[in-house]
Amino acid sequence: MTTPQAAAPAITSLAPRRQVLDLDDFTREEIDLVLGTTESMREVLGRSIKKVPSLRGKIIMTLFLEPSTRTRVSFEQAGKILSADVINLSGSGSSAEKGESLLNTGLTLQAMHADLIVMRHKDSGAPYLLARHLKHAGIVNAGDGRHAHPSQALLDLYTMRRHLGSLEGRKVVIIGDVAHSRVARSNIFGLSAAGARVVLCGPPTLLPLELLRGRDTAYPTANVSVETDLDKAIDGADVVMALRIQTERMEGGATPSMREYTRRWQVTEARMRKARPNALLMHPGPMNEGIELASSLAHGDAQRIEEQVTNGVATRMALLYLLLNGPEASA
């Protein structure tokens, strides 16, 4: 496959940016820079020896206070491939179990000379707290509550652009539990900045109320629409992205029965035929196979789910490199 080449970005570093908290404040040029750098990092992953000295001497600490497999491991792998020293912490076994506040935990890690803290937290806004109070350590949001997951959105954008070229005018359908999905929210901002058209689809109780009711919203509404009928939403789509049903973030009655959900909003082979030929099928994981996606599609030719995981390592390598190896970081 020939990889579409992006236009050279007008900027060459994310500096003086020290945090990546969401994509709502990223410019199109910054997104292009990350995606272009990701392409270089993917080449590193293809080598027999997957190690470069780019971040030698830098200390990255991962602070995951909520469960994770893909994001946590890929950030750790990304840092180690770039030769950074990576130290991993979780809630279990840390002073957080003793009642230490998040701020005091962050201050402790900063005092240990962390250059960058990659953090996941169950509460929306938690990374912003540390970003406001830590003066010397950068912060990367690896997922906060239902709010944001910028690195996942960037790897999704990279996966799309690698197959489709420019995303300008492309139709991307995001299906399922949008209301509780930090992935969906960050993707909406990233895709809108890239010029794509975003269609949100799912049960009305799992879609953003402000969009359903046509109210003022923080979403970039010029590029975002809502359609509760999946057969209509998926028509002519370039990308179909299913989301996990996040029962752990829901109150009772937020979802129809799983039988009803599967009947109306599961992505099936018949529904994928309504999309454009060679449309991409994506899922941020973890996947409830047979609910969000038909099992025949979950491992079929259209899906790019395993590729998203591989691209996640390359994208996180790009983020770490651009935050820690720019002119500001090396001064």
Residue 168: the pLDDT is: 96
Residue numbers of the chain with a pLDDT score lower than 50:
1-9, 327-331
228 and 290 share one domain: yes
71 and 171 share one domain: no
130 and 155 share one domain: no
160 and 130 share one domain: no
In a domain, 139, yes or no: yes
According to DSSP, the β-strands at 59-64 and 116-121 are parallel
86 and 100 share one domain: yes
Give the total number of structural domains in the chain: 2
Residue 67: the pLDDT is: 87
Q: pLDDT digit string (tens) for 213-225? A: 665 566 666 789 9
Residue 331: the pLDDT is: 32
- Rounded Cα distance between 18 and 116, Å, is 9
Three-state SS sequence of the chain: CCCCCCCCCCCCCCCCCCEECCCCCCCHHHHHHHHHHHHHHHHHHCCCCCCCCCCCCCEEEEEECCCCCHHHHHHHHHHHHCCCEEEEEECCCCHHHHCCCHHHHHHHHHHCCCCEEEEEECCCCHHHHHHHHCCCCEEEEEEECCCECHHHHHHHHHHHHHHHCCCCCCEEEEECCCCCCHHHHHHHHHHHHCCCEEEEECCHHHCCHHHHCCCCCCCCHHHEEECCCHHHHCCCCCEEEECCCCHHHCCCCCCCCHHHHHHHHCECHHHHCCCCCCCEEECCCCCCECCCECHHHHCCCCECHHHHHHHHHHHHHHHHHHHHCCHHHHC
Say if residues 206 and 230 touch (Cβ distance below 8 Å).
Answer: no
In a domain, 286, yes or no: yes
167 and 114 share one domain: no
Residue 326: the pLDDT is: 60
In a domain, 262, yes or no: yes
Residue 270: the pLDDT is: 96
72 and 183 share one domain: no
In a domain, 13, yes or no: no
Nearest CA among 260, 258, 192, 200 for reference residue 230: 200
Say if residues 38 and 315 touch (Cβ distance below 8 Å).
Answer: yes
Residue 249: the pLDDT is: 55
In a domain, 256, yes or no: yes
Segment 303-311 long-range contacts (CB within 8 Å, at least 24 positions apart): 304/159, 304/163, 304/280, 305/281, 307/159, 308/155, 308/156, 308/159, 308/282, 308/283, 308/284, 309/70, 309/74, 309/285, 310/42, 310/45, 311/38, 311/42, 311/155, 311/158, 311/159, 311/162
Say if residues 179 and 206 touch (Cβ distance below 8 Å).
Answer: yes
Residue 100: the pLDDT is: 84
83 and 189 share one domain: no
23 and 94 share one domain: yes
In a domain, 10, yes or no: no
Residue 98: the pLDDT is: 60
Say if residues 86 and 115 touch (Cβ distance below 8 Å).
Answer: no
157 and 219 share one domain: yes
Q: pLDDT digit string (tens) for 78-116? A: 999 999 999 999 866 566 666 789 999 999 999 999 999
CATH code of the domain in which 121 resides: 3.40.50.1370
Residue 12: the pLDDT is: 72
Q: Which amino acid is at 302?
A: A
What is the extent of the structural domain holding 42?
19-148+310-325
286 and 181 share one domain: yes
Single pTM value for the model: 0.91
136 and 164 share one domain: no
In a domain, 257, yes or no: yes
In a domain, 331, yes or no: no
Residue 327: the pLDDT is: 47
